[in-house]
Structure 1
């Protein structure tokens, strides 16, 4: 018999328990910590830019070729793209849970590159970026100054130059984006009148810059093969790629011959300055001008560990900040995870103490209580070994499973204690009594364990996201049951044989006597009720049927949902201005929102990104996104819960006439959408056009909002933005020997901006653009 083997070798049994605890603690230290199991489908993002192009042009010239090439990549579920009016294009490909993104990224990269030849020349110059990213934001680092001494361009480019790349190299970080002003760019602001005066076009200006701002490879002097008497070897350098505004101003665009030679430089026809590559976004932090460094975690990263690394890195890099520059991390999605995990650990500890108190009350023997008491640490800590072996994380579901398991794992030990105590009271020595008890209890203990495993194991095979959530919960409980059984057959018999003693004739103390009297009275009362019920079987059957029917009716009529809504410590404020609204109008709305939030109780701070829609994950000119961070839960109390704060903000936003604005709560599981609720995608499968697609989307939203169970249905898709159509007389242009490519190139350069080439500054590479002033 296995138990007798360990009773005869007590040191061996204790070593097994100690090794289990040590390995379990090591696994606990190494296990990733997360809010929920990894159930969010991983994503790969393909991004590029087409400066000056409209959203419709981007969708037709970039979206169609890339999406046709990438469609059907192995392991993908679906893909969605966003084409923005600022010239950006983003394609997000979602894969099945468990897909190896390293392999998938190579496939996506190859397929996207196969479409590169079909893209416009301006896009080919920008290139295509393929990254594996998590759709949820980890945290936001805000750069600002208390006295607003720095402008937006400085703040954003300080983040780009000094923070973006070091943060992107940190373990667990998938993507780092800097929002606020655009990155530095050498902007050449052309004067159309002066161009006409000098007989120049944008094509001439672009060719001049390309010809004089280029990297020069001048070669070497004295390089082999050389005569034997050659003493030195020199590398020849020349000014090639420019870096300063004055150097660009001195670029010669046109020369003239004759008695009075004429040289036209770039400064004669344009204003040159080191400015921004694009002006789509703006940012503020609790009313201060700022740059927002948004950090996304990798799909399978340990969010808390990644967040800790960012905090340490920012603390170190902030030592080199210029005077007056500061940073803060107002928005951190891991704050709620830390609080939730800490609360569950506290609950786990309290549950263990309560179980031990209950055992002591009923066994009324400290020696007997110690046997099941030692089961809890061995089994619970040992469960982390199973979690590490199965690739699980320390999350709310696995910890909840451990809390429930505390009451289950002590059952085997209590049964063994009772069986051994029974034979000890019969007069057998503790060792022989335990051996005899285990001969009877080994089978029941194994049977109970198999029954528990059989109950919880099927939940591990549930399909879909629901199955992903409950798989870890079920397997952790099954693992604790198995570990408890092993512990009950090895260590518990040893403890019973050495710790249990025959009861003496001394009566229990006053507390136990009082408890026994109360418990006996409750038992007698219960038996009286059961006796009455047994004598009225038909009536009890009717009561049973009523209870079952009432339970079924209540179950069917209760509201259903995926996961309960939780106060995660922040909300998302979305503001939408009318179509075609300019950026100054958006800034005015942002200032009014700042005033509203500043006067709302329970708000710790907020982070605003103008020109960005968190719903699309893309730049949308008439949108702004504000992450509203509440004060700590302990400071707010129950009086200022999330519903109260959100209702207060929405009441004030409703009175604002300049824009439609409202606060939404984040999703229960970060990464499954950007806000709570659901997302519905409309597809134009019959190619009816964008206008019909928008009409259908608006009609669907109106009908949905009319239903009692739905609210705040809206679509970020817009085709009705005010636009101008330029009707070009192509026949006349050709008859005047003006190529259409020059007409379109001039339009793009004047009204959009045209990419020319690159220049180096601050050990970075930036872009050169020309545009009409």
Structure 2
């Protein structure tokens, strides 16, 4: 928004100051050269001008026919409006497009009882698959860390893959198709699917850094009732089973497990009191030997280092190792832990996550190929309505939450932009009626933008909506060139029909020139490759389609609506006893021109 405002303000300043001075210096009549290649260029320009003049006359005749046959014109307009509404519903919505950001992430999920050594062996196999990819520059594997829920687990691994520079990967179209981030993720996933010791999940980075941990969506099932982990796990599995049947969704997974094997250690507090053993010392001994505990600190190399105590791996492999531990009682005797501690295997959740203060199970996933994030969000909410019983709800986090929150802001900005443009035009024309004919150009621009986005298979995202906002100003600018000139012709005494036709014909060439200049100016956005290409495609394609719609359809309908609105204003003025559009000029007969040929002394564009 800031960029557009500053650039338009600078452009307006240049147009009002430097451009007139340059016109006075450069636009001098000089006879065209007739020698060499200029001779043939002059012939081409003369042929082009004759053809464009014939096209202009034909355009004026089409405008006349549309005014005379309003019923047919409004019938076609109804079809265009229906197409506009259909495209709004047919084009999938999303927040921001996924981009090739130069790196990838991936997660490896092993069975619940898998050791860190087993996890590392499987991670090495996947790492070798990444190493074979020519577009991969660097690889980092973090064993024991789960990216999906940000927890340290022996049965999880996380991969961070740095890709080669964009200039190298996008040096040709063939390399770009094979070495973009999405293609690499699909290739590695296809080869890693043959590894049956764990589940490999490629993860796209979040489209907006800092919002969410991963790309795709983060969905939470919240238990607002009993808080039973087993029931929550059962519902999460039912939800996944149902959601995996939806074609809009892919990569669905949950790290919530309520039946993980656990070793439960029960401390007999009564016996500990009889043996004069502090219960806190029992827990400290268990933590120090089987977990870890910080017992001291020391200074070295200008840093403070922690001294962490833990038994070596061979001495903490099984429950029987507890019988080898002793703790000191208050009577200064060594008491075996087996005297006060009993162990047994139980099942339970390895991690009990909470979201919004409720016990919750996280489900991650993304939209399937060819589907948008908006369709994925809608599909997840439909599955939730079918599966979740009373006492359970759902919530979003990350990019999906932001997309839900910002759903109405773009429409509010669009409506606000329309109101501002209308008020400015009302002040310019000193009328509440004439701006209506200018604003009728906007829907045709939106129709063109939607059609081109639909043809290219793009989504209705934030960048496309920015393009729609830009089209309000561009469409109004082209329409103002016609309407303002027609209003000046009316003040000169021309009839409504003659003013409408002459304004359309005389303003046709500059409108086409400015529209083509803008279309070719944003064409690089529509065909961009590399970093940020998808965002550029959205805004570039929408603006090009909108400008084509405003330069074709709006060129025909704006004169029609000017004719209708001006006749309405004229009838209203006659009823009130004044005619503000003519300012006292003699009334011209419909279909005729004034004696001076109808050209105003000053053009109002």
What residue is the counterpart of 2:18 in the other structure?
Answer: none
User: Which of 226, 245, 251 in structure 2 is aligned with 1:175?
Assistant: 251
Q: Deviations over 1:612-659 (max 9, x none)?
A: xxxxxxxxxxxxxxxxxxxxxxxxxxxxxxxxxxxxxxxxxxxxxxxx
SS of 1:500's equivalent? Answer: helix
Alpha-carbon distance in structure 2 between the residues aligned to 1:159 and 1:98? 40
Q: 1:8 is matched with which residue: 53, 61, 64?
A: 64
1:338 aligns with 2:404: yes
Report SS of the residue matched to 1:312: helix
Superposed CA deviations along residues 400-424 of structure 1, whole A, max 9, x for unmatched, are 2212221221122222122223333
Task: Return the offset for 1:393.
Answer: 1.8
Structure 2: distance between partners of 1:369 and 1:48: 62
1:180-579 equivalences under 5 Å are 180-183=256-259, 275=347, 280-288=350-358, 290-298=359-367, 301-319=371-389, 326-329=392-395, 331=397, 333-460=399-526, 464-497=530-563, 499-501=565-567, 506=578
| 5+ long unaligned stretches in structure 1 | 117-123, 190-269, 510-773
Q: For residues 160 and 412 of structure 1, do their structure 2 counterparts lie closer, same or farther at Cα, with a shift above 3 Å needed?
A: closer
**What do the CA deviations read for 1:5-54 (whole angstroms, capped 9, x no partner)?**
32233145444443332212111112222222332569685735277666
- Structure 1 residues 110-169: Cα deviation after superposition (integer angstroms, max 9, x where no partner): 63367x5xxxxxxx5x35546677733623323435454x2x3x1453135422221333
Cα distance in structure 2, aligned partners of 1:407 and 1:440: 21
For the 8 Å contact 2:138–2:162, the answer to whether it is kept is yes
Query: Displacement of 1:460 after TM fit?
Result: 4.1
User: Quick one: distance in 2 between partners of 1:147 and 1:53?
Assistant: 31
- Preserved CA contact (<8 Å) 2:440 2:561: no
Partner of residue 285, structure 2: none
**Inter-partner Cα distance in structure 1 for 2:505 and 2:222:** 70
Q: How big is the shift at 1:179?
A: 4.0
Query: Does the C-alpha gap of structure 1 residues 75 and 169 become closer, same or farther in structure 2, counting only changes over 3 Å?
Result: farther
Return the offset for 1:372: 0.8
Task: Return the alpha-carbon distance in structure 1 between the equivalents of residues 489 and 224 of structure 2.
Answer: 77
Contact persistence 2:129–2:191 (CA under 8 A) = yes
Please give the secondary structure, in 1, of the residue aligned with 2:142.
strand
Q: Hey, what does 1:138 align to over in structure 2?
A: 217
Secondary structure of the residue aligned to 2:578 is: coil
C-alpha distance in structure 2 between counterparts of 1:102 and 1:457, whole Å: 24
1:625 alignment counterpart: none
Q: Tell me how large the CA RMSD over aligned residues is.
A: 4.1
What's the secondary structure of 2:97's corresponding residue? coil
Correspondences of 1:588-599 after superposition (within 5 Å): none
Indicate how the Cα distance of structure 1 residues 181 and 439 shifts in structure 2: closer, same or farther if over 3 A, else same: closer
* 1:86 aligns with one of 131, 142, 154: 154
Q: Which runs of 5+ in 2 are unaligned?
A: 1-56, 145-152, 164-168, 170-175, 206-213, 266-341, 582-605
Distance 1:400 1:78, change over 3 A: farther
1:49 to 92, 96, 110: 110
CA distance in 2, matches of 1:302, 1:346: 22
Cα distance in 1 between the residues matched to 2:203 and 2:402: 25
CA distance in 1, matches of 2:247, 2:505: 54
Distance 1:448 1:129 in 2: 53
Cα separation, partners in 2 of 1:336 and 1:483, compared to 1, 3 Å: same
What is the match of residue 535 of structure 1?
Answer: none
Deviations 1:309-353 (A, max 9, x none): 22232222223x7xxx53442647434323323112111112112
**Paired residues for 1:534-683 under 5 Å:** none
The offset of 1:188, in angstroms, is 13
- The normalised TM-score by structure 2 is 0.57
Q: CA deviation at 1:271?
A: 9.7
Q: Confirm or deny: 8 A CA contact 2:440 2:554 kept in the other structure.
A: no
1:111 aligns with 2:191: yes
Aligned length: 409
Give 1:291 deviation, angstroms.
4.1
Shift of the alpha carbon at 1:173? 2.7
Distance 1:430-1:165 versus aligned 2 partners, 3 A rule: same
Distance 2:191 2:226 in 1: 49
Q: Distance in 2 between matches of 1:160 and 1:360?
A: 57
The structure-2 alpha-carbon separation of the partners of 1:25 and 1:43, relative to structure 1 and needing over 3 Å to count, comes to: farther
1:34 match: 94
CA contact (8 A) 2:87 2:454 kept: yes
Deviation at 1:98, TM superposition (A): 7.2
